[in-house]
Structure 1
């Protein structure tokens, strides 16, 4: 009976681990190239060479360069985790709502947002540049901004529910102000162009957001 056992079923976990390792190598190589070379100058053959795999392997896993960038984007946004769990469902996002003091909550969100912007700034630049020549990337850019707005709206709604928004400020307008102040372009201008430190940027964002949307007495 032992001669009839199919040995291939025992190889399956090994193959899965090898496939995941290959996928990780390709994503690592692609992220490095997209952020340093940009979308147009990054090619699938170059990614394959950098990852140490065949071009056929890259195409089998990701089909197109745009599809590869989409997968890199989701992994980078998730902090290196190769999944597509929505931001609002992640533990670090939910933790901020355990903070009762609104200024402290904004400070926590500012520090968390800084870590995300440090990860995604280069990729966003690649996506924005690629959007000029690729309709899918243009749609991704628009979707990123839209998703960021909706995540921000959830934050603004929680401030409103807790009675923290300044008088006369609607959730929609608060969302717009928060969305603009937290935009990655501000981070890039202040840290890359003007040379601000991460601490200076976080302090500015916390102070500016707090005075923009909270009741004045909460900012004293």
Structure 2
């Protein structure tokens, strides 16, 4: 008995690209509103209006306001909407290519600076919203956990190239690097005190090296 085949799924590249452009417009509008007006004060209708689409379009694309905030944050961290992990991005490769501890931390300071330039405002929007929105509080905790994971990942590579500072445990080093990779430092020094990104990167690399390595 031959199997009965159902109708072949139809895919339209034109329609898919149109949907992707719509998602990008919605994400850009949401990023602007969440970071300037605030998460609580921004509705999906506000986002739809700013993006030039209907509210049901926003809901169909993202499902909920927390999911939209998550997308805004993900794209700010990665720099685009491609499903590629941060650690596999071309701009993260200098960390993996570094072959001595100071160079690992210098490269990681560059990564942290790049991410903060894109994502510091989104991080702050999540932090503020977490105080009053339980669903965002969970996202904030996930962000902290992911920053710890990032610090641990970098240090696991670093110790293959050389030693941490004498007397410094690996777990304490993770905590120190987690503290230093916070985009809030960039927001304070570059955003509020008018440091240049290059000055910030140099300062951050120096702080990481002083805290974690014998010099």
Settle same-fold status: TM greater than 0.5: yes
Structure 1: which 5+ residue stretches go unaligned?
Answer: 1-5
1:16-165 aligned at under 5 Å gives the runs: 16-83=16-83, 85-165=84-164
Cα contact 2:44–2:65 (8 A) shared by 1: yes
**SS across alignment from 2:40:** coil
Q: Which has the higher helix share?
A: 1
Task: Tell me the TM-score normalised to structure 2 length.
Answer: 0.89
Q: Which moved more, 1:137-146 or 1:89-98?
A: 89-98
| Residue of structure 1 equivalent to 2:3 | none
Instruction: Measure, in 1, the Cα distance between the counterparts of 2:145 and 2:117.
Output: 20
Alignment deviations for residues 3-49 of structure 1 (CA, whole Å, 9 cap, x no partner): xxx9x95x722221211111111111111111211101211111111
Q: Deviations over 1:146-193 (max 9, x none)?
A: 111011011112222222311121211111111112212222222233
- Mapped to 1, the partners of 2:37 and 2:24 lie a distance apart of 19
Name the counterpart of 1:12: 12
TM-score between the two structures when normalised by the length of structure 1: 0.87
Q: 1:160, 1:171 within 8 Å by CA — same for their partners in 2?
A: no
Q: Does 1:176 align with 2:161?
A: no
Deviations 1:64-83 (A, max 9, x none): 11111111111111112243
Contact 1:87–1:151 (CA<8 Å) still a contact in 2?
Answer: no
Query: Over aligned residue pairs, what C-alpha RMSD do you find?
Result: 1.9
SS of 2:12's equivalent in the other structure is helix
Secondary structure (helix, strand or coil) at the match of 1:161 reads coil
